[in-house]
Amino acid sequence: MSPSSFTTNRLRFCLNILGTSLIVFGSLCVPSQATAQTSQPQNQTPRKYSLGPDSTRGQDVPKGTVTEHTLLESQVFPGTKRRYYVYVPKQYSKDKPAALMVFQDGHAYVSDEGQYRACVVMDNLIHRGEMPVTIGVFVDPGHRAEKLPEKRGWKPRPANRSIEYDTLSDAYVSFLVDEVLPNVTAEYNVTDNPAGRGICGASSGGICAFTAAWQRPNQFGKVISHIGSFTNIRHGDTYPGIIRKTEKKPIRVYLQDGSNDLDNEHGNWPLANQQMFAALKFKGYDVKFDFGEGAHSGNHGGYLLPDALRWTWRDYTGVEPKLSMIPVPQDAPWAKKWWMPRHDLKLAQRKSMPQVDLLMIGDSITHSWESAGKQVFDEFYGQRNTLNLGFSGDRTEHVIWRLQSGAVDDINPKLAVLMIGTNNTGHRKENPDHTAEGIRRIVDELKLRLPTTKILVLAVFPRSQQPDNQLRKINNAINENIQTIGNLENVWYLDIGDKFLDEDGTLPKSIMNDFLHPGEKGYRIWAEAMEPTVAELMK
């Protein structure tokens, strides 16, 4: 993700925390002489994110087992006691080394009713082959007491947490490698390949996860940091400078934070995470940064955990990467100058409209209702309070990113029309089943955000002049897969592809000059063919 992917939230964040006038140069926020000192960004309500289907236990998904263990003595952290939990997926076999994920603040991640629900998510993703068969180890911070509290959790707060998590040394990773993981590997066949070993945590646990991989990249090659405390609790704010001046290490890093995260005497969490992202990007790391509008909690990170795991494990042996489902902004060179500004423009347009009754969502074919199809659009949709969210070049993963980044917040349309997928075909000849899964994921995102809105999913339009063309066949296969999507509640499916074709299946140049994008005649065919369904659904 490029830094521009979170420009809007960054500027909004700067406006919130300064409490005074700004001069904006490029993407930098420069305060005037007086600056408000606050412990939390002001004048913005943190956005609440709802967990999606990946965080809900699937009916036919095999359930892994979770066992609880105690570690009552430690050589690295003398006088500490703790619990840890081991998750073993149903698909585990001792004949094949499993991947490994270690979670800090284990009790917060392991619970099926918490904000992260990591075991539920891993059950779902492992079942679908979107991450490898993975042993999960969930480690609680150390308590300094004669005995462990009766119940796991934050009460009482583990006294040794900051020492273990915020310290920039190899002490904690040594503790994991020498004192915790041997108990796991003695019972289970776990890979010793660092590319198959990930580590995750939130807040101080987030910087702890990074420190563990930074100190011992021969043990952990993958990092997931939620709302990471890269601030001056114990000198974590020095990491960006250290990263820039240190030889690149073989680790992959996922970062998440929100514009309503903390701002206190230790530092500013959103700015600290942006600095981390910038330093890692500068140094050429494989890094992804999801920056939203959440606060210092697991709400946003839990919502994104399925995507974080998909991205983190996307190219691991045995995992079939489903790029169609991993949300990213458009970063093609030809789109960099206009794509993000269009996203910002559409956010502003959405906010300025008193009412949005009809949504159009898609790629260049939908985008061009504003150009080649404008006359027809004005005739059919000009008086229907329509918001066009078509973006040229978009694939399913770009639409998912836009939906997750505020595109349909705070509106309640009567109908959303979705037509997407032909760029998944044209750009990389993607497996049509993967594209179909991306389309279904978009529908899930729409249902999550617009629970009362009716959704009309259009079959992907035919492309290429001849019916036996490979790209045409791929699009046909996508449509065959998604035609049952209309069985979902409040979702309809409509295939009007034959309206564009001659009797022999040929696509006329008079309708799509480049055999992909409709001209004005093609847009009229589209509008007239769809109108009875649109009119009925918008009643």
pLDDT interval class at 24 (50, 70, 90): very low
Q: What pLDDT score does 30 carry? A: 30
The Cβ of residue 35 has, within 10 Å, a number of other Cβ atoms equal to 11
Q: What pLDDT score does 44 carry? A: 73
CA distance 354 to 373: 24
pLDDT interval class at 9 (50, 70, 90): low
DSSP 176: I
Residues in the chain: 539
CA distance 423 to 435: 10
Q: Average pLDDT in the 146-153 region?
A: 93
CA distance 226 to 301: 6
Position 40 pLDDT exceeds 90: no
Q: What pLDDT score does 213 carry? A: 98
Q: Average pLDDT in the 287-310 region?
A: 97
- Buried/exposed 430-445: b ≥16 CB within 10 Å, e otherwise: bbbbbbbbbbbbbbbb
**DSSP letters of 4-30?**
GGGHHHHHHHHHHHH-S-EEEETTEEE
Does pTM surpass 0.95?
no
Q: What pLDDT score does 31 carry? A: 28
Is the Cβ–Cβ distance between 255 and 273 less than 8 Å? yes
CA distance 365 to 462: 12
The Cβ of residue 32 has, within 10 Å, a number of other Cβ atoms equal to 10
